Amino acid sequence: MVNNQQILLLGDDEWDKALRSGRWRELSLCYPRTRPVIEAMLRFTRAHSDAFRLGLCRDGAFAKTWTVISLLITQDGWQRVHVERVRCGACDAKLVIANPTVADLYLGVKDWAEAMRRATVSGAVRCVRCNESLPRFAIWAELLKDE
């Protein structure tokens, strides 16, 4: 349970099977155009398995598809996050961050505004290279490795 919403965590084999079929437990997981996005999310999560998991949730009892969500383990438990790339305005470093302030992360959560507020109370992390503020709120950050 995260923010009083059930989040399902699949094993690697289950994720692979679900992505191949585009379904899990009789509900759509992805469509041909969204599959590459979910595959990228899964690659990131697997590369950062010490801190991240990819989960599935439904944003309502009558939802006909799964919502795929990134989770970061924090001292308070699992936190919903949007993993994104930013560039530090001070030192020009390219970083990947975990941002808990994207409203879509909280679809189906009754008190989503309070859940988002709680995610930000510890404050934002700063650039890991120069320690300046980042252009987007983040609770985790690392330098982006060469692609």
In a domain, 3, yes or no: no
Domain that holds residue 30: 8-143
Name the domain count of the chain: 1
In a domain, 41, yes or no: yes
Average of per-residue pLDDT across 1-21: 92
Average of per-residue pLDDT across 50-70: 88
In a domain, 132, yes or no: yes
In a domain, 97, yes or no: yes
pLDDT at residue number 48: 97
In a domain, 76, yes or no: yes
- 80 burial (CB, 10 Å; 0-12 / 13-18 / 19+) is buried
Q: What is the pTM of this model?
A: 0.91
Confidence of residue 146 (pLDDT cuts 50, 70, 90): low
